[in-house]
């Protein structure tokens, strides 16, 4: 339990600092490109109402970058800007981005408190935004070019709505067709944890079936390790009954793999944030400093959540 408290102390101190920074600037709207230039270009195009060019630029990107672009747009643009884009273009990408805006807003409203600590007002707001999100997603074309992105977001949506079966179906569909798409694995690794009603046996099967992809495997592994520490529930007891020993072994191994592999994906920042947080928890000071430097102020939704 002591390790869990230490980890939460690390995370909370970072969150407080980031919240202060963003509130000082412009409330919960924040830049979330993580340095992906095309995301910033698309944001400028939408602000300038050059919707057609924005759509073309998004559609030319790979799946993983499209996810980052959508998160950046839905977290930096306001509701009026997104509604005007959708009213003008009536496109699948404008609808998905608007739906993601409401999905993020649902979690910002709810916060990441335990259910028993969420006020009735915030709980009602949470489900109201999820309802708008669901209706918006349902308006997207069935044969949309962006169906993989929509399927990925639906994992998160239906987990939030408590329909784990439907969320699982979306995961199976999207990963079968797009095994190198990163975010469906992240969403699903949240869905099947015991805190959402999942079983350790399901976690084991999922963990052992992860693709041979350094970024996907490492991010998911570290996410489950940190969540395991925070929840004081060893998800990896099958492999080691000491979660700290297991975590130490994994971060050292992943660090070596990163030293010999050039990871160019923008989602490397998710991995760096997990490496920094877990290394600090384990008092691996050199690794913690190394990955805090690599984070370079680019804090990601996981492990730090959506900041209000």
Give the domain CATH number at 130: 1.25.40
- Residues 78, 172, single domain; the answer is yes
Are residues 80 and 119 both part of a single domain? yes
Q: Mean pLDDT over residues 113-120, rounded? A: 75
Does position 23 have pLDDT exceeding 50, yes or no? no
Question: What per-residue confidence (pLDDT) applies to 191?
Answer: 96
> Are 58 and 134 in a shared domain?
yes
Given a contact cutoff of 8 angstroms between Cβ atoms, the answer to whether 185 and 302 are in contact is no
The more confidently predicted of residues 115 and 215 is 215
Shared domain for 275 and 290, answered yes or no, is yes
Q: Can you give the residue range of the structural domain that contains 120? A: 31-176
Q: Are residues 43 and 166 in the same domain?
A: yes
- Give the Cα-Cα-Cα angle 188, 192, 197 (nearest 5 degrees): 145
What integer pLDDT is reported at residue 25 of this predicted model? 39
Note whether residue 17 is domain-resident.
yes
CB 54 within 8 A of CB 42: yes
Do residues 48 and 62 share a domain? yes
**C-alpha closest to that of 214 among 176, 270, 175, 150:** 270
Residue 15: per-residue pLDDT: 41
Q: Measuring CA to CA, which residue among 189, 230, 191 is closest to residue 11?
A: 230
Q: How far apart are CA 127 and CA 308, in angstroms?
A: 17
Q: Name the maximum alpha-carbon separation found in the chain.
A: 56
Q: Would residue 120 count as lying in a domain?
A: yes
Q: Is there a single domain that holds both residue 144 and residue 224?
A: no
Say how many domains are in the chain. Answer: 2
In a domain, 181, yes or no: no
* pLDDT tens digits, 192-226: 999 888 999 999 999 999 999 999 999 999 999 99
Same-domain check for residues 4 and 81: no
Is residue 183 one of the residues assigned to a domain? no
Q: What pLDDT score does 114 carry?
A: 65
Q: Please report whether residue 182 resides in a domain.
A: no
Burial class (CB in 10 A: 0-12, 13-18, 19+), 25: exposed
204-230 core/surface letters (b: 16 or more CB in 10 A; e: else): eebbeeeeeebbbbbbbbbbbbbbbbb
pLDDT of 283 above 60: yes
């Amino acid at each position: 339990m002591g390790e869990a408290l230490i980890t939460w102390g690390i995370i909370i101190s970072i969150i407080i600092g980031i919240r202060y920074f963003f509130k000082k600037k412009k409330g919960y709207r924040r830049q979330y490109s993580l340095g992906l230039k095309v995301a910033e270009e698309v944001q400028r195009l939408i602000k300038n109402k050059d919707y057609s060019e924005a759509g073309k630029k998004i559609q030319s990107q790979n799946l993983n970058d499209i996810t980052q672009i959508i998160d950046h747009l839905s977290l930096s643009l306001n509701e009026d800007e997104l509604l005007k884009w959708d009213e003008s273009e009536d496109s699948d990408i404008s609808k998905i981005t608007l739906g993601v805006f409401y999905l993020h807003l649902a979690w910002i409203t709810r916060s990441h408190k335990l259910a028993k600590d969420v006020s009735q007002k915030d709980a009602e707001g949470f489900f109201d935004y999820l309802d708008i999100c669901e209706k918006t997603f349902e308006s997207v074309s069935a044969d949309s070019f962006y169906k993989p992105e929509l399927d990925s977001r639906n994992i998160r949506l239906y987990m939030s709505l408590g329909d784990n079966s439907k969320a699982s179906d979306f995961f199976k569909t999207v990963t079968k067709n797009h095994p190198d798409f990163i975010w469906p694995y992240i969403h699903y690794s949240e869905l099947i944890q015991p805190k959402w009603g999942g079983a350790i046996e399901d976690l084991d099967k999922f963990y052992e079936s992860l693709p041979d992809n350094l970024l996907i495997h490492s991010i998911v592994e570290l996410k489950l390790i940190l969540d395991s520490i925070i929840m004081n529930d060893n998800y990896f007891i099958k492999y080691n009954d000491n979660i700290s020993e297991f975590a130490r072994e994994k971060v050292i191994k992943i660090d070596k793999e990163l030293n010999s592999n050039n990871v160019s994906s923008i989602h490397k920042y998710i991995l760096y944030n997990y490496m920094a947080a877990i290394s600090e928890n384990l008092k691996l000071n050199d690794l913690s400093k190394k990955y805090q430097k690599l984070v370079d102020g680019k804090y990601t939704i996981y492990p730090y959540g959506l900041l209000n």
